[in-house]
Amino acid sequence: MVTPELIARLPKAELHTHLDGCLRPATMLELARPAKVELPAKDAASLGRYMVANDARNLEDYLKRFDITVALLQTPEAIERVAYEMVEDAAKDHLRYLEVRYCPHLSTHGGLTMDEVVAAEARGFRRGEAEFGVKTGIINCSLRHYTPERSVEVAECSVRCKPLGVVAYDLAGGEAGFPPGVHGESFDVALAGNLGITVHAGEAYGPASVSEAIRRCHAMRIGHGTRLGEKPALQDFVRDRRILIEINITSNVQTRAVRRAEEHPVRSYFDAGLAVTLCTDSWLMSGVSLTDEYWLAHRALGFTRAEIEAMILEAFAAAFLPWPEKQALLAEVRDELAALA
């Protein structure tokens, strides 16, 4: 029988969550004082409730709350602390692998360079890895409303910072009116630098966004992909090439990409043979853990234990890890899943 307690015990991989979407409310309160940032609540419980974006009307509304957290991420110490605490929180949810995405340019308003931002992230993640045993990877994002030139700068930073643990490059932000292909040169830079590529697409805009992400931006994975099913031929292409879809059920309901969890297309994607896995998007704004997302998939969409384990394994298989490391981690996870049977 599937229970939240069982799911919590399963080894899991998180491929799509944002650094600026995973701050602890208590940490926000502590960071706000030296940063002289006025927060919308004075205690951690109230602040946590405020930051959950259940009242958002669309994706742009959902993203407004990130202005608050980004203002707190303008020093190396703050960035390192949040990265470290993310690994600790991941370990508590029995994550074995964690990829975290962030736009390093967002933390340059206080004088940091993008390379310094990534270095601070890396220090936090390495400390967390050493203490909690969760393997991590950094995904650098550019944002759709940036100029193509700035996106190239982010991509170049990403390639330079590969030794610090940057594993991939991404494009995030408001989707409608901002086609990903405008930033195509930055994806060329990332690909030439041998980075993994994942693109937010098909969430607040139709399947054309997914097509452009794949054909112009070299996407190896797709973030969200909620509207992919509107174009069956493209869905088949994604299935046949095993392009993983990073699914975020709760976030998609909050941004009104889907009306309710029971209507989320992940059920039809899985049944059609697509490579899909569940992710959280942001632990703070979505108010969920990865265990919560798998439990929601079971309750709202009827995913069985075997199907949940299949989605978990898809995540590990699509991780932006060197092949030998990935195979070793997959073997460990398969053994652990078998032991829990």
Residues 6+ apart with CB under 8 A from 99: 14, 15, 16, 17, 136, 137, 138, 139, 167, 168, 319, 320
Phi/psi for 326 (5° steps) reads -65, -45
Task: Say if residues 230 and 208 touch (Cβ distance below 8 Å).
Answer: no
Please list, residue by residue across 169-204, b when 16 or more beta carbons sit within 10 angstroms of its beta carbon and e when fewer do: bbbbbbbeebbbbbbbebbebbbeeebbbbbbbbbb
> Which among 14, 203, 293, 307 is annotated as catalytic?
203
Phi/psi for 139 (5° steps) reads -115, 120
99 has catalytic annotation: no
Class of residue 6 by CB neighbours under 10 A (exposed 0-12, middle 13-18, buried 19+) = middle
Active site residues: 203
